[in-house]
Amino acid sequence: MLPSYLTKITRSRITYNFIKILAMEMIRVEKVRAKNNVAIVQLNRPNVLNALCEQLRNELTAALKDLDKDDSIGAIVITGSEIGADIKEMQDKGFVDMYMNKSAENLDDISAIRKPIIAAVNGFALGGGYELALMCDITYAADKALFAQPEINHGTLPDAGGTQRWPRVAGKSLAMEICLTGNRLSAQEAKQCGLVSKVFSPDERGKMILFEKVVAEAVKTAEKIANQSPLVVAMVKEAVNSAYELTLQQGLRFKKRLLSNIRCCEFNSLVTLIVTLM
């Protein structure tokens, strides 16, 4: 059965690979909207505030890779009420265990997904939880959401890319403060420094609780993206992400090559149309 907030978004049946859903214990995957072209991936460990244990990270990565191959899906929304790393899972592991563990690297594979991913954050996004959001392309947040890298308080450091992605988005000074103190950022503060694109407050008419509103708005944006050309969407995502790794001139040349590919595709389509009309 669909969760209540999904029922308000759509009444279409689930058509995603049902066998794989049954095999996944810690996430839910639903296809929504009129064309079933948006996927919602919901983290499902509510009893431990969706702590990112190894199994959850592996299931999430596997699901996203499957959705990336699904031609019917144009965009993805990831959500969960609270998200953070699973500290208990780490307490009995020594240096060799942590060093050889590849689950954090597997989580980093999310940044290589070609389809746009929107993070819908409702509550705490701490440590690995916010590093997960940083891997997404767009982040929407409830006004009560909080963001932090508290690893310093546990005698360790962010292991899913936080030390590298924070400076690229928010600058060195704020990244240093957050990673060295464990201080929390409010949703509005996160928006001001570019970590979040939109912040939502409770519905004044009381028709939709805040969590539902954030997810619904994320799905609305995802549907708009999913209705665009899949090829151009993938190219835009690749071009924007390249700005983090290339100089301005390198990025402009990369964009020019992508644009040339699009024009080549348009020309080939025109030739095909002319031939069919002959």
Residues 140 and 197: beta-carbon distance below 8 Å = yes
Active-site entry in 30, 59, 151, 223? 151
Q: Catalytic: 59? A: no
Name the token pair of 12: 């279409």
Catalytic residue among 85, 125, 175, 239: 85
Distance CA 70, CA 62 (A): 13
Catalytic residue among 123, 128, 129, 161: 128
Q: How far is CA 70 from CA 16, 78, 130, in A?
A: 9, 16, 26
Active site residue 212: no
d(C-alpha 95, C-alpha 25), whole Å? 28
Using the structure block, give the residue that is written with the tokens 């995502």: 237
CA–CA dist 225, 116 (Å, integer): 8
- Catalytic member of 30, 59, 82, 131: 131
H-run or E-run covering 108: helix 103-108
Residue 189 designated active-site? no
Q: Quote the DSSP letter at residue 83.
A: B
Tokens describing residue 14: 């689930």
Catalytic residues: 85, 128, 131, 151
